[in-house]
Structures are given as C-alpha cells and as structure tokens.
Amino acid sequence: MTARAQALTLYESLLLIRRAEEKIQAHYAEDDMKTPVHLYIGQEAVAAGVVNGLDPADPIVGTYRSHGIYLARTDDPEGFFAELYGRVGGPAKGKAGSMHMARPQDGLFLTSAVVATTIPVALGLAFTQQYRKTGRSVAAFFGDGAMDEGVFWESLNFACLKRLPVLFVCEDNGLAIHTPSVARRGYKSVADAVGGFDCHFVESESTDPAEISDLTRDALARQREDGRPVFMRLRCYRYVEHVGPREDRDFHLGYRREEEFEYWRARDPVRCQRERLIKLGVPEAEVAALETKIDERLSRCVAEAQKAPFPEPEELHRDVLA
Amino acid sequence: MSQLSYREAVNGALIQEMERDDRVFVYGCDVADHKRIYGSTTDLVERFGPERCFSTPISEDAMTGMGLGAAISGLRPIHVHIRVDFLLLAMNQLANMISTARYMSGGDLSVPMVIRAVVGRGWGQSAQHSKSLHSVFAHLPGIRVVAPTTPNDVKGLMSAAIRDDNPVVMLEHRWLYDTVGEVDEGDAVVPLGKARVVRAGTDLTIVATSWMVVEALRAADLLAERGVSVEVIDPRTLAPLDEESIVASVQKTRHCIVADNDWSFCGFGAEVAAMVSERCFGQLGAAVSRVGWAFVPCPTTRCLENEFYPNANDLVRAAERSLGLDAMDLSGFDFYTYENRFKGPF
C-alpha cells in the first residue's frame, strides 16, 4: 500500500469513529439510545492504528470503551447503531448495547463492562492460537485503570510464563473514571513495573495512527520471533466524560488540567491526519468527498436504527445456554 | 461393568474424553504434580503431554478467564480446583463473563468449559476448605451445576459435561473419592439434567445431594427396620433441575425431605421445597422439610464439626416428624464411621 493510500485508509478509520461518536452525542438526549456510553473521542489513533497493524484474523478483546475498536475492526456502523438503539439488527440483537459491543465473526470476541475482565480471556484466545499453531496473535485492549486490578498482573505473568502470543494494549488516558494515575500507582512507572516481566515493552504518546500501526507491526514481528508477549503502553487522552456524551471540561474540579487537555487537543488525531493527507497531496475535494461519504453513511445508520424493529419478547429467554 | 473408585472413574472419564477429542485439555493448580488431585488427573500429562495437562500459577481469576477464551475459540478446557472455596477467587469470571458470554453475544459464542471443584470435609477442613456453594452457582443463569455421587455417575456425567457446549461446574465431594462402585464400560454418558432414583420407596421421598445421598441411604435402611419405605432421589444435576422426577416421587409418597450438603438458608433445599410445595401442594401429607448444615461457618474441632454436619440420625428424625411417628431407638448406632476412616490431611 502506498503512503497515500495508507493515510487515506487510516483517516477513514479515524473519522468513522469520531463521527459515529459525535452522532451519539447529537442523539443521546433524545432518550432512545438507552445504554451507558463510554465515548472514545480523542483516543481514536490507538484503535485505528493498532487494528491496522494487526492481521485482520488476529483476535481482539476490549473494554466498555470499545466503540473505536469495533468500528476499526468490523466496518459495521449499521450493526453498531442498531445495537446502541437496542434493535434486533445489532450484533447481539440489542442484548449487549454499548458496553458489550462485539462481533466474534470479525475476531472481536468480547468486550466487558467490568474493568480488566477480558484481559485473561485474551490468554485463552492466545492459548488456542498456540495450541493450534495458527501463527496469530491476540490483542487485549484495556485502560490504565485495569492495571490496578490483580487479574491484570496474573494475566501478564501467565502470558510471559507460557510465551503466549498476546499484545497487551494499555490505552493509558491517565484516568480511572476521575482518579488520575498518580493517585493510584504504587510503582515508579509503567515501564518499571512491567519491566520485570519477560515481555517486550513499547511506549508511545503518538496520535499518528500510522506510527501506532508501525509500532504494532514491529511489536508483533518481535513477538512472533521469540515468543515473548508484548506490552504496549499507548498514551492518549479522552476529551469526553468517563460515561455519557458530554465533553469533559470540568477543570475546576481538579482531576484534570486544562493545559493537559489543550496539549492533546493540539495533537488531535483526526485533524492531524487530515493535515497529513493534504500535505501528501490529496486534493481537498477528495478529502471532503470522503467525509461526506462517511457522514451520509452514519446518518443512514442512525435513521435505519431508529426505525428498525426491536427484538420480540421471546428473545428474552433465547441464548442463555447452547 | 467394572468396579472402580470415584477417583478412578473421574480419571477414566478424563482419559476417555481426551482420547476422543483433542480439543479437551486439563489445567489448574497442581493437576500435573506428583499427587494429581487425589489421583483424578493421574497419567494425563504422560499420555497427552504438557500442552494438554499443565499446572498453573495460583491465579484462579486469570486462569478462569483463560478457560473462557480457550472455550470461545474452539477448545474444551477443564479447569480444576482442589477446593470449591478457591473458586470464589474466580467468581467474577464465572458470574460476569462465563455465564453471560453466550447471551451477551446474541448466541454467537458458546462456552464449552468444565470447572471441577472438590468439596472438602473432615480432619479440620474448617471454614475455608469445606464449602459446596452449589446453590450460589446454580443461582446464575447460563451455568450448569452437577454434583455426582457414585463412580458410575461421575464418569458418565463428566463425559456429558465435557461434551456439552455450556459451562458446567462439577462438584466432587472429597469423601466420595474413596467409594467404590460398578461403572459402565466404554462410552457410557449419563445425560445432564436427569435425576436418579437411588432407592425406590413408597412412604417418603428424600431428595439428597452429594454426600447426603450416603446419609439418606443409611437413614432409609434404619427406617426400613420399622417398616417405613423411603425413596431416595439424587438430582445429580442441580441446574437444570429434573423437577419431573422429584414431583413424580412426591406425588407417590406425599412426604418430602430435602437433604442438602450445604446450608439450608437461601439454598438448594429451599428451591426444591418451594418447587415441591407449588406443584404438589394438595397432595402433601406434611410440609416439605429441609436438613442441612448448621448455619455457622464450619468449625475445625471434631466435636463441633459433628454438630455442624447433619447425618442419617437427623434424617431419621426428620422422617419421623414428617410421618407423625414416634422416635425410634437409635442408641448404640454409630453415626460417625466415615469421620473415623478419613485421616486427611486434605
């Protein structure tokens, strides 16, 4: 793929996520999307970059803040909005909603509303790859808050012990709900804490999805070479509140600082990628056409979802057991 | 038919299923050490290699999630806990993840996983090595719960559990490991969700779980001496419960005692009592009664432990109350025989 084509692909991925989240913001107050939303605005380069760097067949697990990885991996905003609106056309027929949005057929196996709980699931997915010698690796996305959980350390330990093909992708936005990392960590740094484990360690605060994609590809190559799992600490910033549609500018409450917000906003992944496209010589009209295409698609998704059928009452008892 | 101990039957089922299906693997704390979970995992690592039978770090939470991941991607994990109590460290994975994965994926995922856990008793197992918790597991939609009592049942139900596409919690009572019984040869699967009439009778039904089946049979022998005919039903699978077998029995006997190897309060016994009361109300000769553990943590010292666990004596007395009979003379009968045989330490 040429640099230009790659840049366009990544822009499309970033923009699909950003605009889908903005659609949620625009419609949430209508009270039809009855599902707690943990928006991804500001962090898009991580999902777009890592998913781009993975093989499309590499399994993924995520968290309740996984709209980004869902859209980056599945290219299914239709199902995405149907699920948010609780309609039968969603990947889980409305039973999952925002916090459990997944699509196993595309390798996105599980997301979860309880912090750190899909990290060990990635071990099992990786165990299957190792057992079946598929050569695939498994990406476990989690926030930095998940590093406060014992199961994270249990999982990292086991992956290193068994040399499981796991990519631990820590989306470090510096906040666990409203508690900054400095108030939660008894270790000197993430690099120090993870450094004692027998794994590769990668750290970045890039908002350039191409750079994150390259880091992912390099990390996977190293992991496949010597079998050691990879820990990626990808710093990022969410512009929105922990849960809900609002942009979080509650600086007066003291848990986040305006300078920090502005530092990240100046490196906004979507705007910067657009600038890169123009620099690469992509005509403004072509970029605008892409944006219009995405906007129109998402508007259709929302309109379709709003009039789509709800699941029948019998659906309540379906799929409890196989 | 061959005579096997419970431990040999568990081991035989595991070997049979691992030979039959290369997706099956066994893991957990100490499954591959020299003691092999009381012999139940003997020979697995030798026959199937360390990829299919391996000991793990003491990380119940992560190891349970690991099983979930393996199960949803095509393998059939069997996770082993030498005590049920330790499974509590994995409760998040069980209650939030494993039991919900199929439902929350709209039926895309299935979780063919077996969680084996041993129920301890005696020689001072006390409060953290003696729980059964089957009602806690059975309370969660999306999980099957099995508690086999005989060597034949544990072999057949283990095979069924491994072949089932759902998560199954398999509870194995430590004292049952030494019991010996006839076991069907070969591929004899016992279906999940079917109770067994262990002993037929006409006057009173005892629905008994796990070790309480042993006590119920002794009580039935004693009551037979005075002409009372007891039917003993072992549900075997606690979730889903075979209500029909229990109802059919109580409709015949009109009297029902639930002898549960657990605390009674909010327990499996309450579930059965409610179900029988709802479905047999007009036919009952007496209220359904429950016999279970004293509602205290399990103590260590033997004299208090003897008070903690109910036995055949308690069942005889409950039966007499249900049937309106005088108390029979049980003096000179030693109710604590197995306690004296079990030398622990674990």
Please state at what angle helix A3-27 crosses helix A77-84, rounded to 10 degrees. Answer: 20
Chain A residues close to B109, C-beta within 8 Å: 104, 109-110
Tokens representing A295?
A: 């906007």
End-to-end Cα spacing for chain B: 30
Q: Which CATH architecture has domain A3-306?
A: 3-Layer(aba) Sandwich (3.40)
pLDDT at position A100, please? Answer: 97
Interface test with B, best of A121, A152, A168, A318 (most B CBs within 10 A): A121
Domains of chain B (ranges, CATH numbers):
2-183 (3.40.50.970), 196-341 (3.40.50.920)
Cis before B240? omega within 30: yes
Hey, is the C-beta of A90 within 8 angstroms of any chain B C-beta?
yes
Helix (H) or strand (E) holding B130: none
From B205, B276, B198, B200, select the one nearest B243 (Cα to Cα).
B276
Active site residue B139: no
pLDDT digits (tens, 9 = 90+) for B319-331: 999 999 999 999 9
From B258, B209, B253, select the one nearest B228 (Cα to Cα).
B253
Hey, is the C-beta of A100 within 8 angstroms of any chain B C-beta?
yes
Cis before A165? omega within 30: no
Q: Distance, in angstroms, between B242 CA and closest chain A CA?
A: 16
Q: Rounded to an integer, what distance in angstroms lies between the CA atom of residue B141 and that of residue B123?
A: 35
Calculate the alpha carbon distances from A100 to A118, A120, B120 in Å: 11, 16, 37
Helix (H) or strand (E) holding A167: strand A166-172
pLDDT(A1) > 90: no
Hey, is the C-beta of A314 within 8 angstroms of any chain B C-beta?
no
pLDDT(B284) > 80: yes
Report the share of chain A in percent with pLDDT over 70. Answer: 100
- Three-class SS of residue A37? coil
pLDDT digits (tens, 9 = 90+) for B155-199: 999 999 999 999 999 999 999 999 999 999 888 899 999 999 999
Hey, is the C-beta of A120 within 8 angstroms of any chain B C-beta?
yes
pLDDT(B60) > 80: yes
- Model ipTM value: 0.96
pLDDT at position B344, please? Answer: 77
Active site residue B60: yes
- Determine which one of B8, B17, B60, B305 is catalytic: B60
Burial class (CB in 10 A: 0-12, 13-18, 19+), A126: buried
Q: Which of residues 235-264 of A touch B (CB under 8 A)?
A: none
Helix (H) or strand (E) holding B239: strand B237-239
- In chain A, where are the structural domains located? 3-306
Please state the rounded mean pLDDT for residues B309-315.
97
Chain A residues close to B72, C-beta within 8 Å: 104, 109-110, 121, 124-125
Give the torsion through C-alpha atoms of B174, B176, B177, B183, to 10 deg: -150
CB A144 within 8 A of CB A107: no
Chain A residues close to B101, C-beta within 8 Å: 110
Total number of residues shown for chain B: 346
Tokens representing B196?
A: 């067994």
Hey, is the C-beta of A95 within 8 angstroms of any chain B C-beta?
yes
pLDDT digits (tens, 9 = 90+) for B64-102: 999 999 999 999 999 999 999 999 999 999 999 999 999
Q: Do B72 and A158 touch (CB under 8 A)?
A: no
Chain A residues close to B111, C-beta within 8 Å: 322
Q: Do B74 and A132 touch (CB under 8 A)?
A: yes
Hey, is the C-beta of A148 within 8 angstroms of any chain B C-beta?
no
pLDDT digits (tens, 9 = 90+) for A235-293: 999 999 999 999 888 899 888 899 999 999 999 999 999 999 999 999 999 999 999 99
Q: Rounded to an integer, what distance in angstroms lies between the CA atom of residue B191 and that of residue B238?
A: 13
